[in-house]
Amino acid sequence: MKIADVRRSAVSMPLTSPSYPTGPYRFFDREYLIITYRTDIEALRAVVPEPLEVTEPIVKYEFIRMPDSTGFGDYTETGQVIPVTFEGRAGGYVHSMYLDDEAPIAGGREIWGFPKKLAKPTFKVESDVLVASLHYGSVLCASGTMGYKFKKADHDAVLKSLLSPSWLIKIIPHVDGTTRICELVEYYLEDIELKEAWTGPAALGLFPHAIADVYKLPVLEVLSAVHLKADLTLGLGKVVHDYMQD
């Protein structure tokens, strides 16, 4: 393989059999259960990196079913998003993500810097309740429930929340183990078709685990919950801060 061939073929690793194709990445019937809860403000300040700013002791715990996504396939994901501000704009810092599909793990980490780990989340309807969970191996790390389609949510408010910016820390090490890339990345969800949105009573439990440490942002009070379904595109990001230049 010539050098020019390497450059042309270098889409993602491995070189001759990429883990995922090039984007954009479109998601059809993407389904969320988002449980918003109050937590310890000092616990948030300990994990949210500057120049992002924590404004209130709030976390959004998300369970997401993605049955049909271009390039990434069919998978389930869960994790924590922390409401923050950056340069006066409100959005969310993606703190943790656990999912069950190798392609979006590799693509999410390599392109944007999503903090993805391999685990076993579930998301389903049991009679009149949405039931979602996160297992790391055999151990239960998170459990969320919500009354199924109790009440219609405010469509415009939900759509506005989906259109807000999100931020990530992208980290790529050098071959000697030192940090080669450490950047704050901003991205948006695009071309959103919000099909339905519901609210209702909800509960959330987070449990200790050495590796899947979602419990370190403890649930002090569940504030609200929303269940929604949408078609959308995951927009490619841009670097808004380079930590290696500080």
Backbone dihedral angles phi then psi of residue 244, each to the nearest 5 degrees: -75, -10
Q: Which residue numbers are catalytic?
A: 116
Return the bridge partners of 151, or none: 199
